[in-house]
Structure 1
Amino acid sequence: MTATVHTFPGKTTPSLDAMVQLVAADLNQVNAVILARMQSEVALIPELAGHLIAGGGKRMRPMLTLACARLLDYGGARHHKLAAAVEFIHTATLLHDDVVDGSGLRRGRRTANIIWGNPASVLVGDFLFSRAFELMVEDGSLKVLRILSRASNVIAEGEVNQLTAQRRIETSEDQYLDIIGAKTAALFAAACRIAAVVAEREDATEEALDAYGRNLGIAFQLVDDAIDYASDGATMGKDAGDDFRDGKVTLPVILAHARGDAAERTFWRDAMEGRRTSDADLAHATRLLETRGAMADTLDRARHYGQRAVDALGPFPAGKAKAALVEAVEFAIARAY
């Protein structure tokens, strides 16, 4: 019997504490690699990179690499550099995303592009990507290199796909799922999968961990897209309503638009095309998402993908590592409450 995702209001709030405790010693090693490899004789590079890397991020993706390695009883140290590479890829994409989106807040702090400007943010993002690839090459596994380089490529494709879909209210649910599967879930999947490679496990184990990470990543992004409309800057660590004002056609919007009457569909088109972006418009959008059931159904879908992630862990034995990985799914979904 597989575990089940239980994430309902009123229950004990899940957290990443179990995972943090599970991988604490390994994470110290990863953080040492990150600190060493973000150094440069060009002072702006560690200054800017450190602003984001030390900015309160949960290190969820590298912790997934470490926790999956623990699940497989891997006793080596290769995963330390590879988990650092995963974090560098993630940080590089955040730097680039904030430039593309013109974001002002990240994890409750001013974004690097606001402090140092867009050119510096893009170039330091490039530096971190190159550092990630150096770490992959040092590991020496072509399979690891193939998995992480492919993920980097897919993330870039997802970001471009999202850019082309921006302000296009006719974006389909399938295209939306393609976008988040690429821009978010691909790195979650790769972070988990490489643990099976370094532990020298069979393809079936790789596939199971890939499925766990991919479905967790989709659930994570679905929740993010829902709480953009239902949270605030203190909770989200970014400006509330950013997606709305940027014209990002996320699943809540797709569902509300499809279910709306003619006046509502006109509102959504105007909003996504940048003609309705005031605080009052955002409040109206949030009401429509609730009345049309778009928020509830988006979170239902998140729970569905979360359950798929948990089910992917079915073949693995019970223990602290598996429990921590299950709770990570519960944490990803419980952020909505």
Structure 2
Amino acid sequence: MQSPVALIPQLAGHIIAAGGKRLRPLLTLASARMCGYQGRRHIGLAASVEFIHTATLLHDDVVDESELRRGLDTANSLWGNQASVLVGDFLFSRAFQLMVADGSMRTLEILSNASAIISEGEVHQLITTNDTDTNEQAYLEVIEGKTAALFAAACQIGAVMAERSADEEQALRSFGTGLGMAFQLVDDVLDYSAKQEALGKTVGDDFREGKITLPVVLAFERADADEKAFWRRCLEEMDQREGDLPHAMQLLQKHDCLNDSLERARAYGRNARTAMDVFPDGEIKQALIDALDFSIERAY
């Protein structure tokens, strides 16, 4: 993150110091080690993965006009939108410098493709925001792009570094995709859950921003005329009033939308676990499966 332009390490340091699970770079480190890789390339590539993710967070907070992330002021609320976008661009560029320094066209191809897919997913989400007609398929395409693509790439490059077979590469990619889909689905459930407060996050950010996530898609599909009118007023017209969020949470419970969304997450989790069958049992494989279980079980 170092740069002679003082604002860059200051702003980038703020978002990195805010914490988080560091799940994506851990996937790269663990996948490489599980595949028997013994060198040090995985460190630079893991950093590259985390910088791609951090850049998207900086940009997301500007797009969503977010004021808090993980309970702290966002970079855009402290330094403004322009600085956040530009430092996000710097981190993207730094990620590509790290990939080039790695010297493998294959890892560069995988991570650059993931970066393009993430951007497409973000734009796709922008189109579905405030659109209560969004269906489940369209929503799943959004999260496969904006979240699962980087999880998949982070895992796949571990096999590439270790020069493992195409089958093992694909298995790790499938594991990452399943984990990423489950992870995002659980995030979307937690946004409407009291558990969110215990995790130090605010409840209802997606609701306030008019985001159409799977719990809302299911609620709208199962709604009567009055309930549909409520969702349209809150999420399409963005006419939100006192008591609307608790009422939204009540409707999600009434139609069992949170449990059904979690069941989708569990199904992706099962697929991810199955993908790992090609690898022999061991400590690192178990750690990856534990990360998958954690991603789903944090909903409880």
Bin for the TM-score computed over the shorter chain:
over 0.9
Q: What are the Cα deviations for residues 166-221 of structure 1, in whole angstroms up to 9, with x where unaligned?
A: 10000111110000000000000000000011101111111000000001000000
Alignment of 1:56-67 (within 5 A): 56-67=19-30
Aligned to 1:32: none
> Counterpart amino acid of 1:158?
G
**1:293-336 CA-partner distances (Å, limit 9, x unpaired):** 11110001111101111111011111111111111111001111
**Bigger mean CA deviation after superposition, 93-102 or 222-231:** 222-231
Number of the residue aligned with 1:80: 43
1:50 aligns with 2:13: yes
What is the CA–CA distance in structure 2 between the aligned matches of 1:113 and 1:233, rounded to whole Å? Answer: 23
Report the Cα distance in structure 2 between the residues aligned to 1:250 and 1:110, rounded to whole angstroms. Answer: 24
Q: 2:203 aligns with which of 214, 222, 240?
A: 240
Q: Distance in 2 between matches of 1:126 and 1:323?
A: 36
Q: 2:144: which partner in 1? A: 181
Residue 140, structure 1, aligned to residue 140, structure 2: no
Structure 2 distance, partners of 1:200, 1:52, is 34
Runs of at least 5 residues in structure 1 that lack an aligned partner in the other structure: 1-37
Residue 153 (1) aligns with residue 140 (2): no
The alpha-carbon deviation at position 275 of structure 1 amounts to 3.9
Structure 2 counterpart of 1:270, one-letter code: R
Please give the alpha-carbon distance, in whole angstroms, between the structure 1 residues aligned to 2:196 and 2:223: 28
Unaligned runs of 5+ in 2: none
* TM, length-normalised to structure 1: 0.87
- Please report how far the alpha carbon of residue 273 of structure 1 lies from its aligned counterpart in structure 2 after TM superposition: 1.4
TM-score (norm 2): 0.98
Number of equivalent positions = 300
Match of 2:263 among 300, 310, 325: 300
Q: For the aligned residues, what is the CA RMSD?
A: 1.1
Larger RCO (CA under 8 A, 6+ residues apart): 1
1:144 to partner: Cα distance: 0.5
* CA-to-aligned-CA distance 1:30-74 (integer Å, 9 cap, x gap): xxxxxxxx0000000000000011211211100000111121121
236 and 270 in structure 1: CA distance in 2 versus 1, 3 angstrom threshold: farther
**Runs of 4 or more off by more than 3 Å in structure 1?**
231-238
- 2:226 corresponds in structure 1 to 263
Quote how far apart the aligned CAs of 1:79 are: 0.7
**Cα distance between partner residues in 2 of 1:154 and 1:237:** 30
Judge conservation of contact 1:192–1:210 (CA < 8 Å) in 2: yes
Distance 2:208 2:195 in 1: 14
Structure 2 residue corresponding to 1:224, chosen from 184, 187, 197: 187
Does 1:121 find its partner at 2:71? no
Distance 1:279 1:226 in 2: 21
Query: Cα deviation per residue 1:61-92 (whole Å; 9 max; x = unaligned)?
Result: 00000111121121111111000000000000
Distance, in Å, in 2 between the alignment partners of 1:92 and 1:129 is: 6
Q: Which amino acid aligns with 1:85?
A: S
Identity %: 60
Contact 2:210 2:238 in 1 (8 A): no
